[in-house]
Homo-oligomer: A and B are copies of this chain.
Amino acid sequence: MAHFTHHSEENYLKALYKLSYSTVKKVNNTALSQLIGHNPATVLEMVRKLVGKNLVTTLPNKSLKLTPSGEKKALLIIRKHRLWEVFLTEKLNYSWNEVHVLAEQLEHIESNDLVDRLEKYLGFPAVDPHGDTIPDKKGKLKVQESIPLENAVAGKNYRILNLADTNDVFLQYLEKLNIRPGKKIKLVSRNQYDNSVMIMLLKKIIPLSEKVTKNILVEPA
C-alpha cells in the first residue's frame, strides 16, 4: 500500500532542504533530529531509507545532502505548501501568520495537477504570503532576484532592481518621486479595489498605481 509513508518522508526532505539553506554549520543527524523533533534513532532509520531511494547522500564527514532528485522532490512539496498558503490568505482571508499549520497538511495532498490548477486559479503568484518565491512545476526555484512590485507583499522591505518600461514619461515620473534602482522601499499596503499600493521611501508615503507597480522590479531586502 502507498499509505501515508510519503507524508513522513516528505517532511524529512523538506527539513533537509531547509537545513541546506540555513546557517547551521553542519547538516547532520543531530541537526535534523532537532528540526523535525524526532529521536536520533528514528532519524537515522529514515535517512537510510532515503539514501536507499537515492534521495539523500551522506558525505564522508557524515553530513547529509539531498541528491538532485531529492531536492526536486523537496521543492515540489514547498511549491504545494506555498501555493496553498496563497490560497488561504487570498481567498479564505486567513492572515499570513496562521496559514502555516494548515499548509503543512495541504502540502501532502497527492496530485500535481491539482496544484498546477490552483496556481493558475491564483494567477501564477510569484511569492507566498511570507514573500518566499514559489518553485515552478518542474521544481525550479527562480533566484529571487526580481519580482514586479505588483507581486510584492505588504509590510516587507524591498530594494528596487530594475524598471521594466523604458517609456520616458514613466521614467521621469519615477525620477520626480526619487524612485530608481538601488533605492530601498517598504510596501506599506495594497488597495484591493484598484491594486494600487502605498510605499514608504525615506520616511515618506507614496501611492503608486497598478500600472506603475507592474513595471518596477524589486528584490526582498
The answer to whether A110 touches B105 (Cβ under 8 A) is yes
Q: State how many copies of this chain the complex holds.
A: 2
Query: Looking at the complex, which one of B92, B93, B109 makes contact with A106 (CB distance below 8 Å)?
Result: B109
Instruction: Tell me whether A121 is interfacial, beta carbon within 8 Å.
Output: yes
Assess A121 versus B92: contact at CB under 8 Å? Given A4-B4, A4-B7, A7-B4: yes
Q: Which of A134-184 contact B (CB under 8 A)?
A: none
Q: In whole angstroms, how far apart are the Cα atoms of A17 and B117 in the complex?
A: 32
Who on chain B is nearest to A92 by CB?
B117
Q: Does A91 sit at the interface, judged by CB under 8 A?
A: yes
Q: Is A192 interfacial (CB-CB < 8 Å)?
A: no
A92→B105 contact, CB < 8 A = no
The interface bits of chain A over 68-112 (1 if a CB of B lies within 8 angstroms of the residue's CB, else 0) are 000000000000000000001001111000000010011001110
What's the minimum C-beta distance from A96 to chain B, rounded to whole angstroms?
Answer: 15
Residues from chain B with Cβ under 8 Å of A118 in the complex: 92
* Residue from B4, B105, B121 within 8 A of A109 (CB atoms): B105
Given contacts A4-B4, A92-B121, contact A109 B114 (CB under 8 A): no
Size of interface on A: residues with Cβ below 8 Å to B: 17
Q: Determine how close the nearest CB of chain B comes to the CB of A5; give it in whole angstroms.
A: 11
In whole angstroms, how far apart are the Cα atoms of A121 and B121 in the complex?
Answer: 14
A102 to B121, CA, bound (A): 17
Inter-chain CA distance A106–B106, complex, in Å, is: 8
CB-CB nearest in chain B for A93 = B117
| Bound-complex Cα distance A121 to B90 (A) | 11
**Which residue of chain B has its CB nearest to the CB of A114?**
B102
**Complex Cα gap A88–B93 (Å):** 18
- Set of chain B residues within 8 Å of A94, measured between Cβ atoms: 117
Interface pairs (16), CB distance under 8 Å = A4-B7, A88-B114, A91-B121, A92-B114, A92-B117, A92-B118, A92-B121, A93-B117, A94-B117, A102-B109, A102-B111, A102-B114, A105-B109, A105-B110, A105-B111, A106-B109
Top-10 shortest CB links A-B: A92-B117, A105-B109, A4-B4, A92-B121, A91-B121, A102-B111, A102-B114, A106-B109, A92-B118, A105-B110
